[in-house]
Amino acid sequence: MSKHTQNISLAVYNGTLGCSFLVHGRLVHLYPYGKAFLSDSSSQESSPFQKKIRVLEQDILRMGSLVEKSCRLSHEAMFGRNLAALKEIDAIDREVDVFYRRIDVESAQLMAIASPAAKDLRILNAFIQMVRDLERVGDYAEDLGDLAVKMFPYPVHECMSELEKMSTTTRTMLAKSLVAVAELDGEARGSLESLDDEVDASYELIYERLASQHDFRGSLEPIMLLTLSIRCLERMADHANNVARRVNYIITGHHHKDG
C-alpha cells in the first residue's frame, strides 16, 4: 500500500477528549465542538446544541472512515485482483447509508428547531452536503468493485498502471479531505484542487488512449469497463474535493462551485 493512502482508522472517545485517527501515518486529533466549530455567538462550551454538533462531526468522520475502507477494498480488487475484498463492500455500504440518513435528518432537524446563528447554520448546511458527497464516493467505490469483477477474466490492459495512479490520487484526496474536516483546515482546498487536476489529466490520457485504439481483438467489453472505471474515479475525486470546499465554506461563508 502506498504511504500516501494508508487506511484511516477512527478511534472515537466519549466525553471531552474528542476523537483521534491515523492518516498518512500520523495521529490527527479532532477537538470537541467548542474549539474547532465554536461560533463567535456561542457562550457555553457544553450547550446541548454544541454537543449535538460535536456528535454529528464525529459521525461524519466515522462515515468517512467507512467510505475510505470501501475505496481501499475496491482498489485491491481492481489492481490486486483480490476479489475476496469485495465481500466487505456491500456491508460497509449499508453502514454508510445508515450514517448518511441519520446525519442528514439530524442536521436538518437542528436547522429547523434550534434557530442557529449564522456560522452554526453554515456548519449544519455543510454537514448535509459533506455526507452527500461521502455517500456518493462510497457508491462509486462499490461500482468500481463490480467493474473489477467483470474485468477479472480479461488480460491486464496497458492502461491499468495509469488507472492505478488515478485511483491512488483519488484515495489521497479522500484522506486529505477528512483531515480538513477534523482540523477545520480551510486551506486544504488548494492542495485538493491540484490533486483533482492530476486525476482529470489521468482521465483525459486514458480516455484518449481508449478512444484511439483501433486494433480490437475479441470483445469490446474490457474497453467499456475501463471507460466506466475512469468515470467512477473522476467523480470520486470531485466529491472528495467538494468535502474540502465545504470546510472552506464553514470558515469563509463563500460558496465554491461543486465539481
Planar angle of CA 67, 73, 79, nearest 5 degrees: 130
* Percentage helix, strand, coil for the chain under 3-state DSSP, each rounded to 5: 70, 5, 25
Percent of all residues in the chain with a pLDDT value above 70, rounded to a whole number: 80
Integer Cα distance of 153 and 169 in angstroms: 26
Q: Does the pLDDT at position 44 exceed 70?
A: no
257 within domain boundaries: no
| Beta-ladder partners of 20 | 11, 29
> Is residue 12 helix, strand or coil?
strand
Of residues 10 and 251, which shows the higher confidence score?
251
The pLDDT confidence band at residue 229, using thresholds 50, 70 and 90, is very high
| Alpha-carbon distance values, 103 to 53, 129, 256 (Å) | 10, 10, 22
Domain of 206, CATH number, reads 1.20.58.220
Any domain includes 216 = yes
How far is Cα 25 from Cα 15, in angstroms, rounded to an integer? 26
Give residues with Cβ within 8 angstroms of 141, minimum separation 6: 67, 70, 71, 73, 74, 89, 232, 236
The candidate with the shortest Cα–Cα distance to 237, out of 159, 144, 150, is 144
Residue 229 CA, distance from chain mean position: 17
Distance CA 148, CA 156 (A): 11
Predicted confidence at residue 258, as pLDDT, reads 62
Q: What DSSP string describes 139-198?
A: HHHHHHHHHHHHHTTSPPPTTHHHHHHHHHHHHHHHHHHHHHHHHT-TTHHHHHHHHHHH
Tell me the average pLDDT across 199-225.
Answer: 90
- Using the predicted structure, report yes or no on whether residue 10 has a pLDDT greater than 80: no
* In a domain? residue 91: yes
Per-residue pLDDT for 6 more than 60? no
Sign of CA dihedral 60, 62, 142, 245: positive
Residue 76 within a domain:
yes
Q: Is residue 41 very low, low, confident or very high in pLDDT (cuts 50, 70, 90)?
A: very low
CA 67, 63, 126, 139: dihedral to nearest 10 degrees?
40
Mean pLDDT of the region 68-90: 91
**Least confident residue range of 102-111, 136-145, 182-191:** 182-191
148 belongs to a structural domain: yes
Task: For residues 6 and 212, give the distance between their C-alpha atoms in angstroms, rounded to a whole number.
Answer: 35
- Written as nine digits, the cell of 104 is 442528514
- Mean pLDDT over the full length of the chain: 83
Grade residue 219 by pLDDT with cuts at 50, 70 and 90.
confident
- Is residue 259 in some structural domain? no
Concatenate the DSSP letters of all residues of 189-232 into one string.
HHHHHHHHHHHHHHHHHHHHHHHT-----S-SHHHHHHHHHHHH
Distance from C-alpha of 206 to C-alpha of 226, rounded to nearest angstrom: 9
What average pLDDT does range 67-94 have in this prediction? 92
Domain of 114, in residue numbers: 3-252
For residue 15, the cross-strand partners are none
Q: What is the pLDDT of residue 26?
A: 47
pLDDT-wise least confident of 22-26, 120-124, 207-211, 215-219: 22-26
What is the number of domains present in the chain? 1
Is 46 a domain residue? yes
Residue 258 lies in a domain: no
